[in-house]
Structure 1
């Protein structure tokens, strides 16, 4: 059996990669994913592989597949999947965001790749976008099978739910307590067999006025446009089960980030992203080898789709994983 070596060239979006739908289990939930294989895939050769984790609210066919296909074109096997309780994956109540389940999804994805006949189990990396970056950083602290860790527009969902996003979205302690009370009440109703209450980060925040976009963080404005106009998908999670909010607030993804060392960590963010401080916080806490690449002029959402940024990001990710896997 031969061992594939990825190549590092600047490559446009490739349609030459092969994709197959796959499933794996996470504690009773069926997780549905897409596995991308490199152009020119050869049976009997083992390839390095990368688990690619999608943002909050997204589905596997959106930005995570954009990067998965670009990396597959460079010689990696890549795996994207819908989070448990979201997209095509199982779990009730659907449209819940449970950090513990999201972290376990990544571990189960590593399980899947570790026993896949076309994957070199000693050459598995992980990439996360937005909240997927936070989950990837978190699981990699204790998941030693992940040999190289990367995040794009990395998002600390725990901090965002406790405190809001940046100065514009800052939440008061009183509002946070009110949300936690409402989340607990929603759980009680569900336990009694009642209806699942949904919560929108924009529409249900009293600070935000849809008629005055200056009241809403740029990330949320651009995210709304991306998910509704640029890359829409009917399975996108526009609102989530309020009962899962308390678990989001309880999540501290960077708490043990120093444990990733001596494995390498790469974070990529835009200089204009209202979430840049999250990547800066993570890198400050991490130990070497670590790198924060800041792309001048880019916002959080720009790194999802804009042609002036995505190839740059994919090129750096390819270089990083080719060197470290």
Structure 2
């Protein structure tokens, strides 16, 4: 997934300018002595995530349970004042020119609001690579591909021969 897209889309409520203004205000407040604002990027529990969309529920299920939790400083909290740089970042910049290496992209076909499915299709389309393969794990989501045996098996069935041939 393209984290820059995630920041200026879903993580900003699709209001990147207002969010950047809030980040700037927080940064200014911190320079003047205010406490840093550490924001939880996900609800505290799976129950609290109910009804918030596929990606929020599944990310919470992964990162806020023993399945993927990395306490005490896992990837579910962020200093608000340090996020601005990511809003202008695009992981796919110049892919049409610079991404010439063999590329195998694996996506689940259950798209969520964080854009993983869309981003996977986009980098596959944009990459200059002459050798590329798109693998769509049907019936599975981005977070299923982290550790669930069946979709991981589908991914590995494509990735292992791809790597054997191209590494």
Q: With the length of structure 1 as denominator, give the TM-score of the two structures.
A: 0.44
- 1:297 pairs, out of 135, 139, 157, with 139
> Could you tell me which residue of structure 2 aligns to residue 260 of structure 1?
99
DSSP 3-state at the match of 2:110? coil
Gaps of at least 5 residues in structure 2 are none
Aligned in 2, Cα 1:211/1:194: closer, same or farther, shift over 3 Å? closer
Alpha-carbon contact 2:106-2:137 (below 8 Å) kept: yes
Q: Does 1:157 align with 2:3?
A: yes
Structure with the bigger percentage of helix: 2
> Could you tell me which residue of structure 2 aligns to residue 145 of structure 1?
none
Distance, in Å, in 2 between the alignment partners of 1:211 and 1:221 is: 9
> Could you tell me which residue of structure 1 aligns to residue 36 of structure 2?
196
> Could you tell me which residue of structure 2 aligns to residue 177 of structure 1?
17
DSSP 3-state at the match of 1:298? strand
Q: Does 1:244 align with 2:86?
A: no
Distance, in Å, in 2 between the alignment partners of 1:171 and 1:227 is: 21
Distance, in Å, in 1 between the alignment partners of 2:161 and 2:49 is: 42
Q: Does 1:318 align with 2:160?
A: yes
Instruction: Quote the offset at 1:228 in angstroms.
Output: 2.0
Alpha-carbon contact 2:2-2:90 (below 8 Å) kept: yes
Distance, in Å, in 2 between the alignment partners of 1:267 and 1:233 is: 26
Distance, in Å, in 2 between the alignment partners of 1:197 and 1:212 is: 22
Alpha-carbon contact 2:50-2:57 (below 8 Å) kept: yes
> Could you tell me which residue of structure 1 aligns to residue 63 of structure 2?
227
Instruction: Quote the offset at 1:311 in angstroms.
Output: 2.5
Q: With the length of structure 2 as denominator, give the TM-score of the two structures.
A: 0.82
Q: For this pair of structures, how many residues does the alignment match?
A: 157
Aligned in 2, Cα 1:212/1:306: closer, same or farther, shift over 3 Å? closer
Gaps of at least 5 residues in structure 1 are 1-154, 204-209
1:22-61 aligned within 5 A:
none
> Could you tell me which residue of structure 1 aligns to residue 50 of structure 2?
213
297-306 or 231-240, larger mean C-alpha shift:
231-240
DSSP 3-state at the match of 2:149? coil
Distance, in Å, in 1 between the alignment partners of 2:38 and 2:22 is: 11
Structure with the bigger percentage of strand: 1
Distance, in Å, in 1 between the alignment partners of 2:63 and 2:122 is: 27
> Could you tell me which residue of structure 2 aligns to residue 149 of structure 1?
none
Distance, in Å, in 1 between the alignment partners of 2:166 and 2:49 is: 46
Q: Which structure is richer in relative contact order (CA contacts within 8 A, separation 6 or more)?
A: 2
